[in-house]
Chain A
Amino acid sequence: MDSALIPEGVKRCSPAKFLIFLGVVGAVLLWGVFAMLLCWIKGLNQTNMNDYYGFALWIWADLAVIALGGGAFFTGFLRYIIGKDELKNIINYAVLIGFICYSSALLILAIDIGQPLRGWFIFWHANVHSMLTEVAFCLSCYFGVLTIEYLPLILENRQLDRVPFFHNLSHNMHEIMAVFAATGAFLSFFHQGSLGGVSGVLFGRPFGYREGVFIWPWTFFLFTWSAAACGPCFTILITKITEKVTQKKLVKDNVIELLAKISGWMLATYIIAKILDTWYWASVTAPSKGFWLLDFYSNNPFYGPWILVLEVIICGVLPALILITESGRKSKTALLLAVILAVIGVSLNRWVMVLQVMAVPVMPFDSWYMYFPSWQEIATTVLPVAYGVILIGLSHRYLPIFPQEKELNPID
């Protein structure tokens, strides 16, 4: 039925099977859309957020997907600026994942704000001193860049490519892709960083607050760094999952290993920086405001020192060690474990930097309050996942995402 749209030389599942897949994921998507409409129509009273948790699941989801979407800018940076040519075999997918992550982030932001119809005030009435302004601008611009990077891929659809204009446009965009990639890397550096700055500048919240250089707290750099380290891990993870689902090898091992190796060194250096930052914060910054490290991790039912161990050791040091050793990268299980841990680690870091910042009582006579999201919050957070799965499904089916697919899976 849709065979004309499927790239030449590759095999795809039957339209029926694909429709069932779309139907199932689409149902989840609709559930999310319903919750989203509830939030827009009835307001944010649909959530379990409150005056103590002004930032909650959604902002975490935003920070997490942007960190995970960091694979796009960093792989692009490596491919186009540094010139790691092998990465051309995974860059398409990295861009697609990035595109999904960033569009999801923008959608979640649009639900999260109390007055979505005034959302554009962040641009129009921009306060240039706010980290969130920086986030909004760079995020939207970079989303534009991702669209530009994704567009040629769409134009390479078998039917579209036959149109000479589209063919030429796609070709020309490829020609100067390095310019876009460089701009994207520049923008990403700032918005990843300013997302780290979001809690880092809160001098009223000793748990989040960090010192830094100029206007940028240390978390600014840590966030960029960790996104560059863990974003590619997420790209690898999703690639592995896609291979599992399609039951095909799509990217050659040397490509994955190269990316894993770079990620590993990024992660290793990041985690050293993170440990230094934590140490300085725990021994100098927080005490100057009257807090011991353990004040942040006690007297409450959830947030304990285990978080530090999990985030820094188990999901930081451990995957870094795996990825920087060759045997670690070569072992399928170890590699998979490492990228999963890295993804958990960066997500946990974002959770801590959003939710725990809110949870820690600052006034001595205040108390810890716990939070659990409402179903509407969960559904709207699952919504982008469903949307991403659908977009990956469609892109994989109709676009030549994986250049090595034909070679790796020859049709007899």
Chain B
Amino acid sequence: MFPFIFEWVWDMSHIVFMGGLWYALTIIGLGMTYCLIKAIADTAGIGSGGHHHHDDHH
């Protein structure tokens, strides 16, 4: 799954497949990082945060 593992070949199938995979992983990773950082910031009162009524979000 990494280019340094010996099965890795720089061919179309690897690029497409692993490209899709890393793309999804990146989005998930970035999304979660964003949420965590923003939550920390909100908690520390840096952001515009404040209180929400979580009923809004269902």
Cβ contacts under 8 Å, B52 to chain A = 167, 171
Size bracket of the A interface = 35 or more
- Tell me, rounded to whole Å, the shortest Cβ–Cβ distance linking B51 to chain A: 8
- Tell me, rounded to whole Å, the shortest Cβ–Cβ distance linking A191 to chain B: 11
Question: Which residue from chain A places its CB closest to the CB of B41 in the assembled complex?
Answer: A168
Q: Which of B27, B36, B57 contacts A183 (CB 8 A)?
A: B27
B39 and A168 form a contact (CB under 8 A) = yes
- Tell me, rounded to whole Å, the shortest Cβ–Cβ distance linking B55 to chain A: 7
- Tell me, rounded to whole Å, the shortest Cβ–Cβ distance linking A373 to chain B: 33
Q: Mark B27-38, 1 if CB is under 8 A from A, else 0.
A: 110011011101
Q: Is A409 part of the contact surface with B, judged by Cβ < 8 Å?
A: no
Cβ contacts under 8 Å, B54 to chain A = 156, 161, 167, 170-171, 174
Cβ contacts under 8 Å, B35 to chain A = 169, 172-173, 175-176
A127 and B42 form a contact (CB under 8 A) = no
- CA distance in complex: A403, B54 (Å): 11
Cβ contacts under 8 Å, A89 to chain B = 58
A403 and B31 form a contact (CB under 8 A) = no
Q: Mark A335-368, 1 if CB is under 8 A from B, else 0.
A: 0000000000000000000000000000000000
- Which residues of B (1-35) have their CB < 8 Å from a CB of A? 1, 5, 7, 13-14, 17-18, 20-21, 24-25, 27-28, 31-32, 34-35
With an 8 Å Cβ cutoff, the count of chain B residues facing the other chain is 29
A128 and B17 form a contact (CB under 8 A) = yes
B31 and A176 form a contact (CB under 8 A) = yes
Q: Is A369 part of the contact surface with B, judged by Cβ < 8 Å?
A: no
A128 and B28 form a contact (CB under 8 A) = no
Q: Mark A175-190, 1 if CB is under 8 A from B, else 0.
A: 1100110010011001
A137 and B58 form a contact (CB under 8 A) = no
- CA distance in complex: A179, B21 (Å): 16
Question: Which residue from chain A places its CB closest to the CB of B13 in the assembled complex?
Answer: A128
B1 and A126 form a contact (CB under 8 A) = yes
Question: Which residue from chain A places its CB closest to the CB of B36 in the assembled complex?
Answer: A169
Could you give 19 example pairs across A and B, Cβ below 8 Å? A89-B58, A125-B7, A126-B7, A141-B21, A148-B32, A164-B43, A168-B43, A169-B39, A170-B54, A172-B39, A174-B54, A174-B57, A175-B35, A176-B34, A183-B27, A183-B31, A187-B24, A190-B20, A403-B55
